[in-house]
Amino acid sequence: MYLNVLSQCTPVPLFDGMWRDPGDRSATGYRSLDYWTWLAGRLEAACVDALFLADIHGVFDVYRNSWRPAVRHGVQVPVVDPMLVVAALAATTRRLGLAVTYSTSYHAPYQCARLFSSLDHLTEGRIGWNIVISDTRLGVRAGLCEYLPHDDRYARADEYVELVRRMWEESWSDGAVVRDAERDVFTDDALVRAVRHQGSYFHMDTPHSCEPSPQRTPVLYQAGASARGMAFAARHAEVVFVTLAGPKTGAEQVERLRGLAVAAGREPDDLRILHGTPFIVAESAAAARVKADAYQELTSTEGQLAKWCQWSRVDLDSYPQDADAFEVIGADGGSITAFLSQLDGERSWTVADVRRLVATPKRPHRYDRHMLFGTPAQIADRMEEWIERTGIDGFNLFPCPPTGGIDDLCDLLIPELADRGLVRRAYDPAERTLRERYFGAGRARLRFDPAATALRPA
Amino acid sequence: MYLNVLSQCTPVPLFDGMWRDPGDRSATGYRSLDYWTWLAGRLEAACVDALFLADIHGVFDVYRNSWRPAVRHGVQVPVVDPMLVVAALAATTRRLGLAVTYSTSYHAPYQCARLFSSLDHLTEGRIGWNIVISDTRLGVRAGLCEYLPHDDRYARADEYVELVRRMWEESWSDGAVVRDAERDVFTDDALVRAVRHQGSYFHMDTPHSCEPSPQRTPVLYQAGASARGMAFAARHAEVVFVTLAGPKTGAEQVERLRGLAVAAGREPDDLRILHGTPFIVAESAAAARVKADAYQELTSTEGQLAKWCQWSRVDLDSYPQDADAFEVIGADGGSITAFLSQLDGERSWTVADVRRLVATPKRPHRYDRHMLFGTPAQIADRMEEWIERTGIDGFNLFPCPPTGGIDDLCDLLIPELADRGLVRRAYDPAERTLRERYFGAGRARLRFDPAATALRPA
């Protein structure tokens, strides 16, 4: 079973209001290396596979058509840049995998390729790239990009990923760097080639600036829920984040993803599929309920609305409250139909109903029977059940609250999983790189690369 | 006397071929955190003010109209990204200043502002930004930017720097982040404002994504030799890198720079001016000569040509070798007239003469009588003379070779300077930030900001 832990370099990675937990240190720690060193050190001591740092650019501004609610409640703002935190953690950890979000929408492919090659060198092969395709409306306000409609964003991202993979895989042959002092040859330039590309969105005519790193291409992570997103993940990703509604529909989603990978010419287990989920664990079920109740009290109502409206691209404040929620069309084609169908597609929902639902603090132990909630043994049972019934390969865990959740995970849950033989008690020294941790010793490099192959110059 | 040390995350920061020195570790160390941790640790133990990491994007390709010579001789390629190395060094050092090159030509202002705010948080106020304006022809080939003529690049950079300074200085008031758990207010949004900008090159309408860091604006470094470059430095820079030909003309250049700063509304000592220079130090003058001779032998002839032609933008290989060098016009208006005038403006030079001069390995102790060369006492004498005669504030030192030069500096030169009371033996705990190290305790923030003031919304 693979375990990733999600965090983000912002006071409240996911659970709005949780920075108010008296024991939480994320409100100041998110910008402090002492905090990140502590957090990564705990995960490494517990032999977690990878820490994954999410990221956003710009400030959420759909709700009330204003960035003020997000700023007021610390909803993914302020931030620090996670690439820099990962670089620092390269110095303070030795084995922990480090995966980080980097958007294809905001930065040149050259820069992406250079940064991840650099990180792969500095971490000695422990780096993963979570490929995201961003909401360009935020990027436009930040001066980071031009506006693009949804489908064009995916077409552009396809070209982007193919281009950076060529930089990593094709520009420098193994053995190009000879460091031959006698002949004054640092690199045998006959083994280096320029990446020549004239595409719809990008152009390039230069060699990659970095020598091959241990993994060359970072482990490619992706989360995509839409049809286009799943196709993208099946084509490019090695580790896929999914959020499954329940074991039954989850099994179908996992099967569909592996099917898409096979259709793209890959093996079904070339994808490691991780279910993303919060967890609340305590030594007794009663203590877990107390914890959940406390968290519920801390939830920021307006913070939840700011985040939910951003994600759905529907400003619940701007419609008549008695309007039919199924009819609401948000910015950039945003809609809440899919969200409502997940809940109860049969009943009717007004905007006010949805707003009430979103703003009401969740009671995890009642709201979601599939959630990882309870004692370590209860949660371990549920995790085993998830894996058996859906065919996922592991979990992407959301600590709640950000600081205490790390302690709970390392002190309570992981020892139980290790006792059951579900997770490692020590990193395998034969698996030197992050890719080998997912796919076995000796497989430090990308196995199959249909996209890059297709682009190879004749 | 201020001491900066220059390096670059590439096998040969400056002296092409020096990676061949038997004791040098830069050829593999440039991409290893162990190497950078060692190097920064030595400088910190010696109480150097700051490590400064230079950077380039793309691969040099003027000489022979090809990137192959640069690749072959390791001339600033391969690289790793210095922002990431600085982030890692934030975790392994506590007091050393960390300055890094970041180009205004390749990345969005939003990204620049976010990265340096992040680094300033993570280093707790030890970060400096060396503002560079890049040769966009390399950037075009790398798909990083559009081509811009020289003067437009400066106009664009002016707008860029003014915009990022507004993000740092104006978007979040001190005290905006309240972390008031009881009221569920993380940030008082009344104390945050969007940066609204519609300029010739950039647009923005969003608050900065980061809360104020210890210095807000990183210490602004700049090196500019052209008239436009000096005007830019006088307007924006706090620490200016100069390369002075000798004490006499150097004094004029320093005076001119301070005069330009005053004309821009600043105090003469709002600029700290550092003379950039290599040094070769040994315990005896004879040993220094042996060292210099060895370095001369290691110099890469073709590597020097690749670098020189890039900097001058004149491909010495593409002209008739008997052509008058004063008449040669290179790419993008490149010319070698200024270079020749520095040497001997009276005599005539053919392209072949220049080529011979550039390709011939330098013998520092004969070639340049102003160079820092000899015993620690001899060099210290010369440094004192430089300061007295030119009015510079200190030095930006180029270790040669990259690894051994660090040892020489820390083992030989700095102890001599400390014995004379010219440099500190311990960091002053009252100077918490890098800016305070240059300008005194209590001055962690920018003192004067005419550019940002001019842009402030009415």
Q: DSSP E strands: which ranges in A142-287? A: 177-180, 185-187, 195-198, 203-206, 219-223, 239-242, 272-281
- In 3-state terms, what secondary structure has residue B161? helix
Sorting pLDDT into bands at 50, 70 and 90, what band is B162?
very high
Cis-peptide, bond into residue A109, ω within 30° of zero? no
Distance from CA of B165 to the nearest CA of A (A): 15
Distance between CA atoms of A9 and A29, rounded to whole angstroms?
9
Number of Cβ atoms within 10 Å of the Cβ of A85:
32
Dihedral sign, Cα of residue A420, residue A424, residue A430, residue A436: positive
Sorting pLDDT into bands at 50, 70 and 90, what band is A455?
very low
> Average pLDDT, stretch A403-428?
97
Give the residue on A whose Cα is nearest the Cα of B23: A181
For A238-286, what is each residue's pLDDT tens digit?
999 999 988 888 999 999 999 999 999 999 989 999 999 999 999 999 9
- Asked if the model's pLDDT at residue B43 lies above 90, the reply is yes
Using the Cβ of B359 and the Cβ atoms of chain A, whether some distance falls under 8 Å is answered with: no
Give the residue among A444, A313, A305, A300 at the shortest CA–CA distance from A361: A300
- Which member of B78, B81, B87 has the closest CB to residue A88? B87
Contact present, A84 and B117 (Cβ < 8 Å): no
Q: What does the block give as tokens for A402? A: 């950000």
Distance between CA atoms of B243 and A192, rounded to whole angstroms?
35
Q: What does the block give as tokens for B408? A: 């020489």
For A70-100, what is each residue's pLDDT tens digit?
999 999 999 999 999 999 999 999 999 999 9
Distance between CA atoms of B243 and B270, rounded to whole angstroms?
19
Question: What one-character DSSP code corresponds to residue B409?
Answer: I
Q: What does the block give as tokens for A41? A: 């050190």
Distance between CA atoms of A397 and A278, rounded to whole angstroms?
6
Contact present, B68 and B19 (Cβ < 8 Å): no
Distance between CA atoms of B113 and B382, rounded to whole angstroms?
39
Give the residue among A223, A276, A275 at the shortest CA–CA distance from A400: A276
Given this model, what pLDDT does residue A363 score?
63
Distance between CA atoms of B5 and B272, rounded to whole angstroms?
15
For B201-247, what is each residue's pLDDT tens digit?
999 999 999 999 999 999 999 997 778 888 889 999 999 999 998 88
ipTM of the complex: 0.95
- In 3-state terms, what secondary structure has residue B245? coil
- In 3-state terms, what secondary structure has residue A356? helix
- In 3-state terms, what secondary structure has residue B96? coil
Least confident of A414-423, B17-26, B112-121: B17-26
Distance between CA atoms of A120 and B89, rounded to whole angstroms?
16
Distance between CA atoms of A5 and A396, rounded to whole angstroms?
5
Number of Cβ atoms within 10 Å of the Cβ of B218:
33
Give the residue among B295, B234, B162, B220 at the shortest CA–CA distance from B445: B220
Q: Residue B284: beta bridge partners?
A: none
Contact present, A358 and A16 (Cβ < 8 Å): no
For A37-77, what is each residue's pLDDT tens digit?
999 999 999 999 999 999 999 999 999 999 999 999 999 99
Chain A, 48 to 77: residues with Cβ < 8 Å from chain B are 57-59, 61, 67-68, 71-74, 77
Q: Do A142 and B79 touch (CB under 8 A)?
A: no
Dihedral sign, Cα of residue B38, residue B40, residue B41, residue B47: positive
Q: What does the block give as tokens for A268? A: 């079904």
Q: Residue A4: beta bridge partners?
A: A50, A396
Higher-confidence position of A366 and B56: B56
For A116-143, what is each residue's pLDDT tens digit?
999 999 999 999 999 999 877 889 999 9
- Which member of B77, B122, B141 has the closest CB to residue A33? B122
- Asked if the model's pLDDT at residue A340 lies above 80, the reply is no
- Which member of A71, A114, A211 has the closest CB to residue B81? A114
Amino acid B196 reads R
**HSE on the CB side for A175, CA within 13 Å?**
2
Q: How distant, in Å, are the alpha carbons of A41, B21, B98 from that of B37?
A: 19, 21, 13
> Average pLDDT, stretch A409-430?
97
For the CA atoms of chain B, what is the radius of gyration?
22
- In 3-state terms, what secondary structure has residue A127? strand
Q: Do A144 and B108 touch (CB under 8 A)?
A: yes
Contact present, B224 and B232 (Cβ < 8 Å): yes
Question: What one-character DSSP code corresponds to residue B212?
Answer: P
Chain B, 183 to 212: residues with Cβ < 8 Å from chain A are 184-189, 192, 194, 197, 202-207, 209-211
- Asked if the model's pLDDT at residue B369 lies above 90, the reply is no
Q: Please classify residue B182 by burial: count the beta carbons closer than 10 Å to its beta carbon, then call 0-12 exposed, 13-18 middle and 19+ buried.
A: exposed
Sorting pLDDT into bands at 50, 70 and 90, what band is A422?
very high
Which run of H or of E encompasses B373?
strand B372-374
Distance from CA of B280 to the nearest CA of A (A): 21
- In 3-state terms, what secondary structure has residue B422? coil
Given this model, what pLDDT does residue A344 score?
66
Helices (H), B171-314: 227-236, 247-263, 285-298, 301-312
Give the residue on B whose Cα is nearest the Cα of A91: B88
Give the residue among B164, B1, B192, B10 at the shortest CA–CA distance from B85: B10
Between CA A217 and CA A226, with CA A220 as vertex, the angle to 5 degrees is 145
